[in-house]
Amino acid sequence: MRTLHVADALRLGPDGSARPGSAVLVGGERVEAIGPADELLGAYPGVRVRRWAGVLGPALVHDGPLPAAPTPRERVHALFRMGVSAVPAAWLTDPELRAVALRSRLAVPEADAPRVLTVGGRADLAVFGPDGVCRATVLAGRLVHRAT
């Protein structure tokens, strides 16, 4: 099912400017379209719409040790609460932790590389409020964290 993610503003890359009125259309694991929210709503009638308060953009890459937690699953989910969708392989040397990360669909690149949103790219998104707190994380098109 397609989902249109609409936020107060959209940032295509970590250093990009925020564009008000833009949205990201996600189908399955991939970004299908990026553009003005009104145009995408018109082009895809009946699409599921998720509206977010804050700035929508690519999810983060966590280049460092994972947060401490009692279990590997909780360590990975702590990343989702931070807006993270990828951790370089060098930080996942523990087999149990790596297994949980891969099962969760966390991206495990060989090196740290900034993420950008592109049509056809993996739908790893995060929404950050004006206070810098992550409001939502989408991992490969699946909502894995939503702040209450």
Q: Which pLDDT does position 76 carry in this prediction?
A: 96
- Confirm if 139 and 104 have CB atoms less than 8 A apart: yes
Q: How many domains does the chain have?
A: 2
Same domain, 51 and 78: no
In a domain, 109, yes or no: no
**Model pTM?**
0.92
Q: Which pLDDT does position 112 carry in this prediction?
A: 65
Q: Which pLDDT does position 16 carry in this prediction?
A: 80
- Confirm if 16 and 118 have CB atoms less than 8 A apart: no
Same domain, 120 and 54: yes
Q: Which pLDDT does position 15 carry in this prediction?
A: 81
In a domain, 51, yes or no: yes
Q: Which pLDDT does position 58 carry in this prediction?
A: 96
Contacts (Cβ under 8 Å, ≥6 apart) of 43: 33
Counting every residue written for the chain, the total comes to 148
Q: Which pLDDT does position 68 carry in this prediction?
A: 94
**Residue 68, both tokens:** 């401490």
Q: Which pLDDT does position 10 carry in this prediction?
A: 97
In a domain, 108, yes or no: no
Q: What is the DSSP letter of 66?
A: P
Same domain, 52 and 120: yes
Where the chain has pLDDT below 70, the residues are 112-114
